[in-house]
Amino acid sequence: MIPPPKDVKQDPQAPSSTELPANLNLGRMTNSVGAPVSDDIAPLTLGARGPILLEDLHLVDKLSHFDRERIPERVVHAKGAGAHGYFEVTKDISHLTRADFLSTVGKRTPMFARFSTVARESGSADTERNPRGFALKFYTEEGNFDMVGNNTPVFFVRDPAAFKDMIAVQKRDPRTHLPSTNMFWDYFTLQPVSFHQLLIQFSNRGTPDGFRHMHGFSSHTYKLINREGAAHYVKWHFRTDQGIKNLSSREAERLRGADPDYATRDLFDAIERGDYPSWTLYFQVLTEEQALNYKYDVFDVTKVISKQDYPLQEVGRFVLNRNPENYFAEVEQAAFAPSHMVPGIAPSPDRMLQGRLFSYADTQLHRLGPNSAQLPINSPRHRPVTTQRDGPMAFGDNGGRHANYYPNSFGGPHPDPGITEVQA
């Protein structure tokens, strides 16, 4: 690793982000199908100076895999970092939801978090002036729940038809392939609905000091359903326990060149040295009647709900205490989608949320394929019991000999009508 300049903020006691484990002995090298490799440097040639032979099977195996190492990059949130941890309930909210992982004070649920910038590509600086993605995957007893939020309580647009255009103007000019302030301001000056988000983005909150010192928000309003079938609408707030810290515009710009991976390094090194970051979860809670009669539309993601009207109620806390062992396997292949819900949590009429229910799951189908939920980082705690079969890269026994249709007469999986009232 090329060290950053001396004036870049970095804890001198922190371990290097590129440390490799010492004193390993993994034994004999093999190719991708387990056959031992005799030489990984010199290719098989026709004589000392002759051409390389196609029958050098190890070389062919090595190069053909190398040619296919990259998967499609995320269209948004491409640059990011992640870590493992746990969520613990600290207050009783069983009157609001029957969601199992929120059911009991003290209950802990394993989770994975990924933080990111939004607009730029994977190789960009993570100190860019941009919102930050705040994606959490909870591995609950009743399946995976994904909270796919941002570090801002509002968003640029409230209708999903505008989402593609809003992102396009933050990408690169189609002719010059350069970032274009002309595209950016042309669009947003014609979209007054974006004004609230722009005020945040062009304050110091648009350049947080790493990922540990920023809040996270659901932004959208979600519906919670309890065991009696009563519904409430909630906004989720994840408030950093490290305290808010932002970079000045000048400092953020300097770090773009001096240490473009500043936020990624800061998160990794903090966890490695045992300085585990944490966030406390709060809800803003409205009854259905309160949501219907509020002074403006609580399902409009460009607006906040006043904390004076509906104060924050503590729910729990999550802690990140383990770094990934392999970035690609655990961070790049992590697939988040708002449609990944569990009983007791449901969508609201928020139009932008409704669009994301489709788009986020769909982009993971494009990036990772129809069996992405079988990847270890995405797989639930308990083996899914489903009639889904086949598709590219199906792992395991592919459902074995069991019936892949419903209804059937052979003891296959069947729906549970008892959860209908807590899912909608």
> Looking at the annotation, which residues are catalytic?
77, 150
d(C-alpha 219, C-alpha 209), whole Å? 21
* Burial class (CB within 10 angstroms; exposed 0-12, middle 13-18, buried 19+) of 146: buried
Cβ(54)–Cβ(60) below 8 Å: yes
The two three-digit tokens of residue 241, written as one number: 């326990």
Bridge partners, 285 (sequence order): 234
Type of residue at 202: F
Cβ(220)–Cβ(348) below 8 Å: yes
- C-alpha closest to that of 221 among 137, 139, 142, 310: 310
Q: Pick left, alpha or beta for residue 210 (phi over 0 → left; psi -120 to 50 → alpha; otherwise beta).
A: left
The two three-digit tokens of residue 319, written as one number: 């802690």
Q: How many other C-beta atoms can be found within 10 angstroms of the C-beta atom of residue 268? A: 22
- C-alpha closest to that of 226 among 67, 343, 118, 305: 343
d(C-alpha 37, C-alpha 31), whole Å? 6
- C-alpha closest to that of 380 among 88, 36, 58, 138: 138
What φ, ψ does residue 192 adopt, rounded to 5°? -60, -20
d(C-alpha 146, C-alpha 356), whole Å? 12
**C-alpha gyration radius of the chain:** 24
Number of residues that this document lists for the chain: 424
- With a CB cutoff of 8 Å and minimum separation 6, the contacts of 105 are 89, 90, 91, 92
Peptide linkage before 407 cis (omega within 30 of 0): yes
d(C-alpha 147, C-alpha 219), whole Å? 10
d(C-alpha 336, C-alpha 139), whole Å? 12
